[in-house]
């Protein structure tokens, strides 16, 4: 089996594509992969690190306001389609899988025009522009949120698959997360993380919270700042809490996020689709602070899906303070009944066999060619 993967711009598009590719290779060891992204996107670094062959297509996204730059983007798109057709003819894939981001546009469109089976996956509750455009041409669309299917009414076929990133965390061994953090086994701990690059608003809240963590003496806090914020945040926390506190661990990045999530008690985070998929797969309660700086405000829509199900609380960034966040955490972690209810609600939202569902859909599309 030969599969082309494409998706880029953010980890939320890249990691689901990688998860699909890895799952297909596990299930079908003779599978050959090719990832097509942009040379300037995160995928150009992340994908080769995963040992997946990578090729680049140069393309930029459309601006939502009238702009001459959009004319240039159309020209780049057409050139990208030609470059994509060249790569596809060379690789001869059985199917092309796109996971969003503007690079998917020329690659998936080119595949559809060449008669290659195509599948796109939408991670967010509100679909991105590229996937909405491509849905008219592809063989099938997979969605992470059931409510997203309404946005793809004109697609040939849409299926509720969940997010393939969920599969990874379920394979993480219990206890390894606490061990890697130097915490006692089965510790109660709050994981605070602002995404792969960090989030200034969450950092500010953590700095404000730090002097008052002593009010939760049996709870540890693991705070992931993002590499660019690490030094300044750590310095300000040390100033706020001279001598430090054993309850708080401040880290720039987590390379074993799956293991740490598997041991966490509650998560405070942004509401990117892949992160939510991992949390719900594990049945984790959460407090979500959606990023206001994303297209269509889709993180707030993602968060509301969990809130309405009883799996999470949401705090808008403009309303976030360290004091109010600590109060919310305290109210949840010391209420066993509520913790259990939120955990069960979270688990009900999960699609733990997402990668297998996508595999079945890809096999169906290839067989029906």
**Exposed / middle / buried, residue 67 (Cβ in 10 Å: 0-12, 13-18, 19+):** exposed
> Does the annotation place 299 within a ligand binding site?
yes
| φ, ψ (nearest 5 deg) of residue 191 | -100, 120
Residue 368: what are its φ and ψ, rounded to 5°?
Answer: -90, 0
**Cα 80 from Cα 75, distance rounded (Å):** 8
Residue 163 among known ligand-binding residues: no
Is 124 annotated in a binding site? The answer is yes
End-to-end CA distance of the chain: 14
The alpha-helical segments, DSSP class H, found in the chain are 11-27, 43-49, 68-91, 104-113, 129-134, 165-170, 176-181, 200-209, 230-240, 257-263, 273-282, 298-309, 322-333, 336-348, 354-367
Backbone angles phi, psi at 37, to 5 degrees: -135, -155
State the Cα–Cα distance between residues 191 and 259, nearest whole angstrom.
Answer: 12
115 near 122, Cβ under 8 Å? no
51 belongs to an annotated ligand binding site? no
Q: Where is the binding site, in residues? A: 10-12, 124, 196, 299
Q: Where is the binding site for UDP-N-acetyl-alpha-D-glucosamine, in residues? A: 10-12, 124, 196, 299
């Amino acid at each position: 089996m030969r599969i082309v993967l494409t998706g880029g711009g953010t980890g939320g598009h890249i990691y689901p594509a990688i998860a699909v590719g890895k799952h297909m290779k596990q299930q079908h060891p003779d599978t050959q992969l090719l990832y097509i992204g942009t040379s300037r996107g995160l995928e150009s670094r992340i994908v080769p690190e995963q040992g997946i062959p990578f090729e680049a297509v140069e393309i930029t996204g459309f601006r939502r306001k009238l702009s001459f730059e959009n004319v240039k983007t159309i020209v780049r798109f057409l050139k990208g389609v030609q470059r994509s057709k060249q790569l596809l003819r060379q690789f001869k894939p059985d199917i092309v899988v796109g996971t969003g981001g503007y690079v998917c546009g020329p690659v998936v469109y080119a595949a559809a025009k060449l008669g290659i089976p195509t599948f796109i996956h939408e991670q967010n509750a509100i679909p991105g522009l590229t996937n909405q455009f491509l849905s008219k041409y592809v063989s099938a669309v997979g969605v992470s949120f059931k409510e997203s299917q309404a946005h793809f009414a004109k697609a040939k076929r849409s299926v509720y698959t969940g997010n393939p990133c969920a599969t990874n965390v379920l394979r993480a061994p219990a206890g390894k997360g606490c061990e890697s953090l130097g915490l006692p086994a089965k510790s109660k701990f709050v994981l605070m993380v602002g995404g792969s690059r960090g989030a200034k608003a969450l950092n500010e809240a953590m700095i404000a919270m730090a002097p008052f963590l002593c009010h939760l003496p049996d709870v540890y806090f693991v705070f992931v700042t993002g590499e660019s914020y690490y030094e300044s945040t750590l310095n300000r926390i040390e100033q706020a809490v001279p001598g430090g506190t054993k309850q708080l661990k401040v880290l720039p990045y987590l390379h074993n996020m799956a293991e740490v999530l598997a041991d966490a008690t509650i998560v405070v985070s942004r509401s990117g689709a892949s992160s939510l998929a991992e949390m719900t797969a594990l049945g984790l309660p959460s407090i979500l602070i959606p990023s206001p700086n994303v297209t269509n405000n889709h993180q707030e829509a993602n968060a509301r899906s969990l809130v309405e199900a009883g799996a999470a609380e949401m705090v808008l960034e403009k309303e976030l303070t360290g004091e109010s966040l600590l109060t919310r955490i305290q109210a949840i972690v010391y209420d066993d009944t509520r913790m259990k209810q939120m955990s069960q609600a979270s688990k009900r939202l999960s699609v733990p066999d997402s990668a297998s569902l996508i595999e079945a859909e890809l096999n169906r599309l290839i067989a029906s060619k």
